[in-house]
Structure 1
Amino acid sequence: MTLEIVDFDRLECRCVDHRWGFVEERAADIERHWEERRCANPALYDGSVLLACRVERTTGEDGARILRVAFFETPFSSFLAWREFGWPDEAVYNCFSMPAARARDGAYLLGEMGPSHSFAGQLYFPCGTPDPSDVVSDGRVDLAGSLVRELAEETGLAASDAHASAGWTAIFDRQHVACVKRLDFDAPSHALLASVKAFIAAESAPELADAHMVSSLTALADPRLPAFMVAYLSRALGGADEIPRRAG
């Protein structure tokens, strides 16, 4: 499947009831896989997360470009197995929000996932898989709120201190749907980075192992960056038509 980047004016997300056949059909495999992963990384926690069973692109009556997503609740162990078994159910998606925190000089903030993370060592914008706390009273899933929470928990930065872009950029990469909102901070990259590094150092159990700033296309050859991150940053840093290739 070709990776796509699409701009939207708004997201419309709801939590629905969904019977996931993968969990029923592969229950024993999922349990075995979880025990293996827990033995390798005891910090993993089998809480509930939200995955998407329907992702639709549509246009509103007002002409707005809308990404409409239906989420359902499932254990993290099921999500992890589905992901690491190679996405056996392609009708389900891992849809999540990410803040593209941008410094005044144009550099973007990346978090290096800590050892307790299922993708330890990889580089992302601060983010997390949505969970039931992101479901508000009317059943709506608040991905903007999830973005604000994850940014604060992982970096100590407040989204309210930045200017947020009006819309969203979604990167579709097989079963990933990464919904990115740019946050422009009125601070130079060295100051923004120092603030985040100080926050990480002060935490007793930080979610991030480190933080980095990226400002050039050459930095996107780093193998720790997932393809959807490379795609977004390539366009954001001025290389919309030229995504860097990695050796190997």
Structure 2
Amino acid sequence: MDIAFNMTPGRIHALSEVELRIDDAPPAYEEEHRADIARNWEEERLHKPALFDGRMLMFSRLAVSDGRLEGLCHPVRYSTYLHWRRHGRGALRHCYANAILVTRDNALVAIEMAAHTLSAGSVYFASGSFEAEDAVDGRLDLEANMAREVGEEIGLDLSGLERESGYAALALDSGTAVARRFRLDLTAAEADAAIRRFLSSEREPEIARPVIIREGEPRPARLAAQMPQLIDWHFASPFEPVG
């Protein structure tokens, strides 16, 4: 097993602590594949002209020990991530925080991505890649990342919400989700309506619509790879709030 990436793929890992640090040096992958990254970027832009080659963070280490996840990430261009996603994993991994929003009636709030986005039609929990602005004193603030992504994508505020005491991590080839559950003071119907109001006020929203997931009902089409296991884990595991 690669000691830098020791999580068992496809298994939910219960975590009591997460520490993700930043190394400002770009990874060797970006320089080694520079020409191929540029060519792949042009191909991607042919299909999705709205893509922006901004900055994000990718990981050279994601290792779990005794319920603690430690990671080391580096700044890369978005085009580097797209090349990695299409052409091979190498010595990097993608990792992102997932705020799992649970309504008062125990439904889950997911989103369907809009047609102009890279993941058009895909259904998953509101989330996004880590960025340098998520860092405080060289360490990533997962809560800040979750709050930003949820606020930008669906207009809900995580501050003050009851939240789970720990985290759950799921490593797949497509990326590693680090998830935490938050309890909304809304029913599923109220959450759906609030998100639709927010979307109607946006000029070009990132998502097409909210997707409500209830226990025992058919699963939505086009679930992202991490979603089936995270959904099953939620409905099988009691919500254990902080404190």
Question: How high is the TM-score relative to the length of structure 1?
Answer: 0.87
Q: Any conservation in 2 of the 1:161–1:185 contact (CA below 8 Å)?
A: no
Alpha-carbon distance in structure 2 between the residues aligned to 1:205 and 1:84:
27
> What is the one-letter code of the residue matched to 1:88?
R
Q: Any conservation in 1 of the 2:150–2:156 contact (CA below 8 Å)?
A: yes
Change (3 A) 1:47 1:19: closer
**Percent identity of equivalent pairs:** 29
Q: Quote how far apart the aligned CAs of 1:181 are.
A: 0.6
Residue 20 (structure 1) aligned to one of 6, 21, 27: 27
Q: Any conservation in 2 of the 1:103–1:187 contact (CA below 8 Å)?
A: yes
> What is the one-letter code of the residue matched to 2:135?
V
Deviations 1:2-25 (A, max 9, x none): 401011112111101455333223
* Root mean square deviation of aligned Cα: 1.7
Deviations 1:96-138 (A, max 9, x none): 10110011111100111123322111011000011111122x1
Alpha-carbon distance in structure 1 between the residues aligned to 2:97 and 2:206:
17
Whether 1:81 and 2:83 are equivalent positions in the alignment is yes
Q: Any conservation in 2 of the 1:52–1:92 contact (CA below 8 Å)?
A: yes
Residue aligning to 1:7: 14
Correspondences of 1:60-209 after superposition (within 5 Å): 65-85=67-87, 87-89=88-90, 91-136=91-136, 138-209=137-208
Report the 3-state secondary structure (helix = DSSP H, G, I; strand = E; otherwise coil) of the residue aligned with 1:237: helix
Residue aligning to 1:35: 42
> What is the one-letter code of the residue matched to 1:81?
H
Residue 44 (structure 1) aligned to one of 45, 48, 51: 51
Deviations 1:138-163 (A, max 9, x none): 11111221001101111111102521
Q: Any conservation in 2 of the 1:58–1:66 contact (CA below 8 Å)?
A: yes
Report the 3-state secondary structure (helix = DSSP H, G, I; strand = E; otherwise coil) of the residue aligned with 1:128: strand
Q: Quote how far apart the aligned CAs of 1:94 are.
A: 0.7
Alpha-carbon distance in structure 1 between the residues aligned to 2:150 and 2:108:
13
Residue aligning to 2:224: 226
Q: Any conservation in 1 of the 2:9–2:170 contact (CA below 8 Å)?
A: no
Report the 3-state secondary structure (helix = DSSP H, G, I; strand = E; otherwise coil) of the residue aligned with 1:121: coil
Deviations 1:75-106 (A, max 9, x none): 00000111012x331x3111110110011111
* Alignment size in residue pairs: 230
> What is the one-letter code of the residue matched to 2:229?
A
The range that moved more, 170-179 or 66-75, is: 170-179
Q: Quote how far apart the aligned CAs of 1:175 are.
A: 4.8
Alpha-carbon distance in structure 2 between the residues aligned to 1:100 and 1:153:
15
Q: Which runs of 4+ in 1 moved over 4 A?
A: none
- Structure 2: stretches of 5+ with no match in the other structure: 1-7, 238-243
> What is the one-letter code of the residue matched to 1:92?
L
> What is the one-letter code of the residue matched to 1:225?
L
Alpha-carbon distance in structure 2 between the residues aligned to 1:191 and 1:160:
18
